[in-house]
Amino acid sequence: MLAHELALAGVRTVVIERRPEIDARTVSGLIHERSVELLEQRGLMEQIRREDGEPLVWDRLHFASFWLDMSELAKTDHSVVLLQTRIQRLLSDRAAARGVHILRRHELVGLSQDEDGVTARVHSPLGEEEIRCGYLVGCDGEDSAVRELAGFAVTRSGPSWYGLLADVGSYAGPVGAGSFHEGGMFGQFGDASTMFRLMTIEIGVEAPPAEQPVTLEEVRASIERITGERPTVEEPLWLHRHGNVTILADEYRNGRVFLAGDAAHFQFHPAGHAVTIGLQDAVNLGWKLAAKLQGWAPAGLLDSYDAERRPYGRRACVYGRAQMALLDTADGPSALREVFGELLDHDVVNRHLVRAATDARYPMGQAEDLVGRRVPLVSLSTPGGEVPVAETLHAARGVLLDLSGGTEPPDVTGWKDRVDVVAAEPTPEIPASAVLVRPDGHIAWAGEAVGEGLHTALAAWFGEPAA
């Protein structure tokens, strides 16, 4: 996602990928509506719908195996069935089509940075080589080599967890979709017409060493420890192990090196936030890096990445640990589960749990309620016809939505190389006469379409006007 964002801005980008190809199997089969919105604003969902049809909606969400009440939230906070591998292929193809060099079977083995850039040492099938770059971003997971090589400090906390995913052709044993047991969580999905997917989560249990292959016996033993029932599991198609403790980088930036996604914040996976928060990291950072490289970034713009995104990485880690605490079977947590279950009778609690880590609102120094939030992806009535707000963001540029009804066009002369102006009729979903939207879809300013306030906001987020 980050490579695609940079490519949209015309930034030369290289992706170093250790794997030879995109995995055919996938850990995740759902993405949250906040992730869908990010794909919408780059025109990526259009291609998915055109090629695959409308994704199925999944309007259920759990917190520590408590199913949340989605009756009031289903339209805005659902997930859709969309395989992670499908998104990876789409982003890979689109990025490559825009000139991104994706180097597979390449592994980062060293890096050094100075005032002018970063030198990455990379091992490939042809040997070792060096790649010189202006900036380097580690999107390489919880065991991030970038994080280690660049010397990022991290805070590790909470109990460990140990999870297994298994796609098998033959299964007989306990059933249930994400059911809670005294030994942990267990899920069995699918049927014999295709395959079975099995899922286990154990809290406070350390996973075997990563180099030790997953076996069917390991899957059988985990299911038995959780449910107390010995299953019959045969015909392995794909076996995957995951888990760790909670990891949060103390900072997301170290000079010219940045972290994003699981490399920056690794939390309990069944919390359901990992993909969305990682994509939000990428979209937040991409346009800021591009602005710096293109020479128009205002002071402090790159530092705002850490300031805006780390609080949400931390929140995801906290909420993941809270779920692990609720899943603990000790007497205290058992009582806590009873109290927590009663709290879920209140709509405000359900709403908070659904949105706490993914509904980002960034502090931008303006009291206006819209500012800092994502712009609603509604349809606008323009002189040329109906235009979805998402479409105005396809190019990953800033957008000034002039909703004054054409009373007096705003003057953005000095910023036309960075900001597009879209004039449209007022709309109740965006209660302002004008809003300035950053390339990541967040509203940076709201107010009158003319006046010093707009020019001050343009300079604050998009640099000084061109001569």
One domain for residues 149 and 161: no
- CA dist 388 and 380 (Å) reads 6
Query: Is 458 found in the same domain as 346?
Result: no
Reading the block at residue 169, the tokens are 């052709």
Last residue of a domain, one of 246, 272, 299: 246
pLDDT value of position 205: 83
Which CATH number does the domain housing residue 220 bear?
A: 3.30.70.2450
What is the model's pTM? 0.93
What DSSP character marks residue 383? Answer: T
Query: Cα–Cα distances in Å, from 90 out to 1, 44, 49, 85, 390?
Result: 10, 8, 12, 9, 18
Final residue before a domain boundary, out of 246, 281, 302 = 246
Asked if residue 414 and residue 330 are part of one domain, the reply reads no
Residues 232 and 288 in one domain: no
Our count of domains for the chain comes to 3
**CA distance from start to end of the chain:** 33
Q: Is 467 part of any domain?
A: no
**Structural domain contains residue 364:** no
For residue 370, being part of any structural domain is answered with no
Examine residue 140 and state whether it is found in any structural domain, yes or no. Answer: yes
| 366 domain residue, yes or no | no
The β-bridge partners of 121 are 110, 130
Beta-carbon contacts of 162 under 8 Å, excluding residues fewer than 6 positions away, are 201, 202, 205, 206, 207, 222, 241, 243
Centroid of chain to Cα 152 = 21
- pLDDT string in tens for the chain (467-residue length): 999 999 999 999 999 999 999 887 777 778 889 999 999 999 999 999 999 999 988 888 888 878 888 888 888 888 888 888 899 999 999 999 999 999 999 999 999 999 999 999 999 999 999 999 999 999 999 999 999 999 999 999 988 889 999 999 999 998 877 677 877 889 888 776 678 989 999 988 888 888 899 999 999 999 999 999 999 999 999 999 988 899 999 999 999 999 999 999 999 877 667 889 999 999 999 999 999 999 999 999 999 999 999 999 999 999 999 988 888 766 666 788 889 999 999 999 999 998 888 899 999 877 678 999 999 999 999 999 999 999 999 999 999 999 988 767 788 889 999 999 999 999 999 999 999 999 999 999 998 877 778 999 999 999 999 97
- Say whether both 290 and 142 belong to one domain: yes
Does 167 lie in the same domain as 143?
no
| In a domain? residue 422 | yes
**Do 52 and 146 fall within a single domain?**
yes
Say yes or no: 186 and 147 in one domain: no
Residue 90 lies in a domain: yes
CATH number at 265 reads: 3.50.50.60
Q: Identify whether residues 124 and 105 lie together within a single domain.
A: yes
- Tell whether 362 is covered by a domain: no
Identify the CATH number of the domain in which residue 402 sits: 3.40.30.120
| Residues 60 and 145 occupy one common structural domain | yes
Q: Indicate if 201 and 333 belong to the same structural domain.
A: no
Same-domain check for residues 190 and 257: no
What is the extent of the structural domain holding 259?
A: 2-153+251-355
